[in-house]
Amino acid sequence: MTKSEMRNRAESVLNNNTNLFKTKPETYQQQFSGIYRKRLQTLWPVLAKAAGTKWISSNNKLSIIDKISNVIEYQDSVIIGTVFLDQKNKPSILEELSKSQWEDDKPLPKNYCSDSQLYFLEDESGRIQISLGDLSNKYVIVTGMIIAVLGAVGDDGIFIATDISYSGLSVQRKKLEFKQETFEKDNNSGFDLSSDNISENKLVAIVSGLEINNRSSEFEFKRQLLADFICGQLGSSSVPSSRISNLIIAGNSINSFPQDLGLHYQEESDDFDHIYEKMVLLGLEKTNDAKFQETLTESKSEFEILDEYLSQLTNCLDVILMPGESDPTSSILPQQQISVDIMLPKTHSMNSLHSTTNPAMFDIDNVSFLGSSGQNVQDISRCLVDHNLIDIAYSTLSSRLFAPTSPDTIPCYPSQTHDPLILTECPNVYFIGNMPYFDSRVVVSEDGEKSVLIVLVPKFSATGELVLFDLQSKSVQLVQF
């Protein structure tokens, strides 16, 4: 980047709310019932208000049942509770604990759905089976969601649902008007980097799934091309690199075990990870085992590669670094910040690196962003059939639950006092990283007072794609390398 380009680099005001999803586990000894209880207690009055607006305001004969156990047969009513989706293919912790330590782990199924799955709604008073019919295709409904259901109990004791309601979008500080660009996912070439019609407005770049590792150089060239593009070193005056004020990296910056290296190597490495965890507990992590030392050296080398790569980027602009499923931090949601002072010392010395949580919420020039590294949407998709990923992402906003399937199929921090993943504020932009393809949609609340741009950010290691968000026109564009 030339001195002139460095002087002309766009600057934005970043307000990183790092404390919103920071957690301190109270203890790991209690069960997770406290999270479900606080989740229901928090959202019950919100759903009662939503149900009143949607149904009761036009039908005075309807009433909200205070407890599921008090439901009356054949009488139309509204019940509110926590969804439990009984799926036989879901992983079970009880089965895991009952297995012999010598049994081989079975791979998780790609989808938990089956023809025999059943829906239940429960609260502290009891549980009732619900029949959703076609509503299961219209709405995203998974274990852990708090919903209101309109219907009546039939002869067989099953609650026949005729409609459901989510909590609705949370409070939003300011509604924005978005300009939506449309793309065909199956035939999308992005926009031409050499064209002259690129906006001069300030841009926020979002990328995910860099998946740096020292055993595969397949995407090394594209990653460097990405860095050169952002830092203005591609040599084209029409490239808007100087207009990019911030770069968001939405998880999975490192992947020590890429799938294309073969199952044998993956299984062998996993074995050494398991051994290392045991040895740390015994204080024997400084083993002289040659193979194990090689594994540790490779991991250290990957951190050094990432540190060098990020130092290029942070020399040019502010970088927001989110952890992901394969990054060196706990996978328990909400994921806490990567310890950049230890793992990325070169990049950490620059003030332009902002390590944050997953999920993360921050403001850039008074535009509020909510970010996910993708685990919440990916896990919900395993519980459903033929649901669009945008619809799934929207359901996490409208239900006010970032990860409703936690702690059922995604680990989260236990708590007796609150659910740290309840969304108390509605963002302007909601991006989800490590998705299989790019997509975007503007959603508006039923009252028209709130709007959110939902963006699926594709995994860079699989697609070579970067997303640009225009802070002035509020439009989103795709760059392919």
How confident is the model over 363-383, as pLDDT tens digits? 999 999 999 999 999 999 999
Per-residue model confidence (pLDDT) at position 195? 41
Q: Do domains 5-26+169-181+200-257+292-480 and 32-91+111-165 have the same CATH topology?
A: no
Helix/strand/coil percentages in the chain, nearest 5: 30, 25, 45
Angle at 337 between CA 231 and CA 463, to 5 degrees: 50
Tokens representing residue 373 in the block: 């590294």
Per-residue model confidence (pLDDT) at position 262? 39
Model confidence at 259: pLDDT above 60: no
HSE-up (13 A, CA, CB side) for residue 448: 0
pLDDT band, residue 27 (cuts 50/70/90):
low
Per-residue model confidence (pLDDT) at position 18? 72
Beta strands in 289-340 (DSSP E): 318-322
Q: What is the rounded distance in angstroms from the CA atom of residue 144 to the CA atom of residue 410?
A: 11
Helix (H) or strand (E) holding 150: strand 146-153
Q: What is the rounded distance in angstroms from the CA atom of residue 382 to the CA atom of residue 46?
A: 28
Tokens representing residue 402 in the block: 């970032």
Rg (CA), the chain: 24
Q: What's the first-to-final CA gap in the chain, in angstroms?
A: 19
Tokens representing residue 120 in the block: 């239940």
Model confidence at 289: pLDDT above 80: no
Q: What is the rounded distance in angstroms from the CA atom of residue 183 to the CA atom of residue 206?
A: 17
Q: Are 10 and 242 in contact (CB under 8 A)?
A: yes
The b-or-e profile of 218-246 (16+ CB within 10 A means b, else e) is ebeebbeebbbbbbbbeeeeebbbbbbbb
How confident is the model over 62-86, as pLDDT tens digits? 999 999 999 999 999 999 999 999 9
Model confidence at 173: pLDDT above 70: yes
pLDDT band, residue 237 (cuts 50/70/90):
very low
Share of the chain above pLDDT 90, in %: 60
Q: In what order do the strands lie in the sheet with 476-480?
A: 353-355, 318-322, 244-250, 203-207, 465-470, 476-480
Per-residue model confidence (pLDDT) at position 59? 86
Q: Closest by alpha carbon to 205, among 320, 315, 337?
A: 320
Per-residue model confidence (pLDDT) at position 189? 40
pLDDT band, residue 290 (cuts 50/70/90):
low
Burial zone of 317 (CB within 10 Å; 0-12 exposed, 13-18 middle, 19+ buried): buried
Tokens representing residue 99 in the block: 């297995």
The CATH topology of domain 32-91+111-165 is: OB fold (Dihydrolipoamide Acetyltransferase, E2P) (2.40.50)
Model confidence at 127: pLDDT above 70: yes
Model confidence at 24: pLDDT above 60: yes
Per-residue model confidence (pLDDT) at position 256? 65
Phi, psi (rounded to 5 degrees) for 138: -85, -35
What DSSP character marks residue 108? P
Tokens 């390398």 -> residue: 481
Q: Who has greater pLDDT, 288 or 162? A: 162
pTM of the full structure: 0.86
The two most distant CA atoms of the chain are separated, in Å, by 78
Share of the chain above pLDDT 70, in %: 78
Tokens representing residue 424 in the block: 């108390």
Burial zone of 344 (CB within 10 Å; 0-12 exposed, 13-18 middle, 19+ buried): buried
Min mean pLDDT across 149-158, 179-188, 228-237, 335-344 is at 179-188
Q: Are 460 and 223 in contact (CB under 8 A)?
A: yes
Model confidence at 114: pLDDT above 50: yes
How confident is the model over 438-467, as pLDDT tens digits? 999 999 998 999 999 999 999 999 999 999
Q: Are 191 and 478 in contact (CB under 8 A)?
A: yes
According to DSSP, the β-strands at 14-16 and 360-364 are antiparallel
- In the chain, domain spans: 5-26+169-181+200-257+292-480, 32-91+111-165
Model confidence at 395: pLDDT above 50: yes
Alpha carbon of residue 178 to chain centroid: 22
Mean pLDDT score across all residues of the chain: 84
Helix (H, G, I), strand (E, B) or coil at 122: strand
Q: Are 128 and 118 in contact (CB under 8 A)?
A: no
Model confidence at 362: pLDDT above 80: yes
Q: Are 80 and 125 in contact (CB under 8 A)?
A: no
Min mean pLDDT across 115-129, 256-270, 288-302 is at 256-270
Per-residue model confidence (pLDDT) at position 219? 77
Bond into 407 cis (ω within 30): yes
Per-residue model confidence (pLDDT) at position 191? 41
Beta strands in 239-304 (DSSP E): 244-250
Min mean pLDDT across 127-131, 138-142, 180-184, 347-351 is at 180-184
Phi, psi (rounded to 5 degrees) for 260: -80, 5
Tokens representing residue 114 in the block: 């089956």
Domain 5-26+169-181+200-257+292-480: top CATH class:
alpha beta
